[in-house]
Amino acid sequence: MLGKRQSLDALADENWDLVVIGGGITGAGVLLEAARRGLRVLLLEQTDFAWGTSSRSSKMVHGGLRYIAQGDIRLTRHSLLERERLIDELPGLVERATYLFPLRKGVFPGRWPMKAILWLYDFLAGIRDHRYLSREQLLERVPGLNRQSLTGAMSYTDALTDDCRLVVRAILEAARHGGVAQNYCRVEQAMADGDKFAITVTDRTSGQTATLSSRRVVSATGAWADRFSGSDPRVRPLRGSHLFVDPERLPVKDCLTVMHPDDGRPVFVFPWEGVTCVGTTDLDHPQDMDIEAAASGQEVDYLLRLINSQFPDVKLDRKDIYATIAGVRPVIASGKGLDPSKERRDHAVWGENGIVTVSGGKLTTFRLIALDALLATGLIDSATHRRGQKSREPGFTPISDAPAAVDAFLHADQGDPDFIQWILDHEDVVHLDDLMLRRTRLGLLLPQAGKAKLDALQQQIQQSLGWDDERWQEERARYLDIHQRYYGVPASPLQQATA
């Protein structure tokens, strides 16, 4: 388990083989793969685990049909094999789900091109899950779908997860192997000092600063990667936003891939932890990366137009949205000025001044990305790297003393006191938003930021974290302010102009 936070003095007393900067899925993967190989490894995250992109993704563990269309068979194959591995190793946390791709007359791709793509998709994954649904079969499954020009649908499977809990689960697994992770610790500087690195760190909870020593450093900071790399900028930050919608207003049983009427982009509409999720957008994000990303009014309008074109009888509007979420993808820029949606999603590993930087890539392939980063540090050799890529050895083992909900997000009652208690005891909750927005998703899944559930949990949280009434009020106000600013529902540009 993560256990209690350590002082920086205690961390500075250790001789680390590797310090990993960044507590998203890539950093967690590097931590896990290094710890599994017996290395003394420390992960440092400047905010909370999965605070950035890794709690704000589309929640999908998938191969990526569009990568086949782009001709990237290798990325698709690796993603599909890793998808199957995670489904096997983390039942409940990563679960196979049915995806439906509605087909409309005169709209590309039609039935036969999709059938060919899905045949290859299943072949690469080593399964056979795709089939054709007639118009009648599709409307039986999705009764409110726009019937205009509808001819049927292709059905296939991918997987869904809780991206943040997947990150925490990887960190917990790394802890079993001796890995150490600390949130709210910001790396100010990492400088080569002979055959080691001197790493200046500030604990943001205490204000303490110390210098740590490590043989190697990996920067796995995602969209922040250019800060530590020392090289020319390589990351193109792209924002993707999602809506979490009242499931009674927009009920769906399957993951739908539908085309936006404005630009023909594919957008997902899918059931997630009891609500309906809609997304994503794909826009350049030039804003300050240290300020939480938030969905814009234009993005909310864009996603509402998608819903109301595909489900014309629903007439969804802002009052039906529980919350929004926006993440910034660390896409490796092609330098060709491409439309954001056409940039490739490969990861890259590069070195400068002795620091290995890794960025880009997919949630699904975090294990393979971690192995590439470790190879670049020299802490594993090419033979170990190849064995790791091909290994069938399980990467995760059950946590025997944890509630089943820890590994079963689709079936979890996230407000269950036993679930909450385990998180408070074992998962380094520092602030109330850590609990409400990441360890659980109660702030996204319930109306009004989950205030009713929050107040019901007050006594349990205060007792577990040692907060007096003053601290509780401070944390509650902080959480509700964060939710309103970055997870709320912004007004449309027209509303803002007339306000």
The per-residue pLDDT string of the chain (499 residues; one tens digit each, 9 = 90 and over) reads: 575 788 999 999 999 999 999 999 999 999 999 999 999 999 999 999 999 999 999 999 998 888 887 788 888 999 999 999 999 999 999 999 999 999 999 888 889 999 999 999 999 999 999 999 999 999 999 999 999 999 999 999 999 999 999 999 999 999 999 999 999 999 999 999 889 999 999 999 999 999 999 999 999 998 887 776 666 777 888 999 999 999 999 999 999 999 999 998 999 999 999 999 999 999 999 888 888 999 999 999 999 999 999 999 999 999 999 999 999 998 877 655 566 666 666 788 988 778 999 998 889 999 999 999 999 999 999 999 999 998 888 889 888 777 777 777 666 788 888 899 999 999 999 999 999 999 999 999 999 999 999 999 999 999 999 999 999 999 999 999 999 999 999 998 766 655 5
Question: Which backbone phi and psi does 158 adopt, to 5 degrees?
Answer: -135, -150
Q: Which residues contact 153 (CB under 8 A, 6 or more apart)?
A: 100, 101, 102, 103, 132, 133, 137, 138
> Cβ–Cβ contacts within 10 Å for residue 335, how many?
8
* Domains of the chain, earliest start first: 8-54+164-234+342-390 (3.50.50.60), 96-158+237-336 (3.30.9.10), 413-487 (no CATH)
Selection from 190, 320, 355 nearest residue 249 by Cα:
320
322 touches 275 (CB < 8 A): yes
Separation CA 481–CA 469 (nearest Å): 18
332 touches 346 (CB < 8 A): yes
